[in-house]
Amino acid sequence: MSALRVAAEDYLTIRRALGYKLNRQGLALLSFVSYAEEARASTVTSELALAWAMLPSNAMPQYWRQRLSVVRGFARHMQTLDPSTEVPPTDLLPPLPPKRAVPYLYSEAEIQRLMRATETIAQPLRAATYNTLIGLLAVSGLRVGEAIALDRDDLDPGAGLLVVRAGKNGKPREVPLHPSTVVALGDYARQRDELHPSPRGPSFFISTAGTRLDHGTVWKEFTRLRRHAGVHAPPGSRPPRLHDLRHVFVFRTLLNWYRAGADVETRLPQLSTYLGHVDPASTYWYFHAAPELLALAAQRLERHEGSHS
């Protein structure tokens, strides 16, 4: 048995005696020791730790970081016994992608101001298109790209459904609509057909040229409307986006469920399907993005635990 292995097992014994289980971490550390033994290394070096941590080469960067942190903890311990031990620096691996930005949660008044700002658009068709697009995003939770990709046949007014065919996961889904939303979409469709009876494609929302809306053009127009409506984020924060209307829809849905005493845990998978989330974790993320939801969830848990105590 090598001296490095003896030191690793002693380190794990000490840590476990302090209450740390170190099941996966212990196996990982012994795996590193085996790697070091094969390389005939008698101590920890940054080069050796990095080479082992980045196995397999196609793993996620977060996985590499977890492996390297295991060696780093052991190396700190070893350095007190063997000054030649190198503690791998924290910047050995490339930085992780930035965390999801906290969404801007529009108030109802701000959404109304955004929709009224479309009255400043000179062309009637363009004004109607952006007014209806903003309204639909606010009440349906659709992604901007999904709304732009809608075709005329994707709206079923009788059933009160939208068929989303350009979802993020590539799978179509049906989105139920409130009757007032169906009416608003019908009003837009009639106005659209009167103002531009010969469109150049099947798209539901059209430009003044009769073509499908361009994402970049929509972004620029929305930025102008937002500024006109006086909707601004706090200093140092990212400017509000059109996509944030989707976040507002999810936040309000969850908030209403909690306030109504609904079984949120049971309904969350349904909401994930409605939103077109492949991973339910994408829906759970909203609890971290909105502190008010976390507070309500904590209150629900406290009441639940209190009733069983």
Question: Contact 42/80 with Cβ under 8 angstroms?
Answer: no
Please enumerate in sequence order all residues whose Cβ is within 8 A of that of 106, keeping only pairs 6 or more positions apart, or say none: 114, 138, 231, 240, 244, 245, 248
Q: Which of 146, 137, 121 is nearest to 203 (CA)?
A: 146
**Gap between the terminal Cα atoms of the chain:** 52
Question: Contact 67/53 with Cβ under 8 angstroms?
Answer: yes
CA angle 124, 116, 142 (to 5 degrees): 90
Give alpha helix (H) positions in the chain.
3-17, 23-38, 46-53, 61-79, 108-117, 124-140, 144-148, 179-195, 215-229, 244-259, 264-275, 281-289, 291-307
Q: What is the DSSP letter of 158?
A: T
Q: How far is it, in rounded angstroms, from Cα 108 to Cα 162?
A: 24
> Which residues have a catalytic role annotated?
143, 168, 243, 246, 277, 286
Distance from CA of residue 84 to its chain's centroid? 44
Q: How far is it, in rounded angstroms, from Cα 158 to Cα 151?
A: 16
For residue 118, give the amino acid letter: T
For residue 9, give the amino acid letter: E
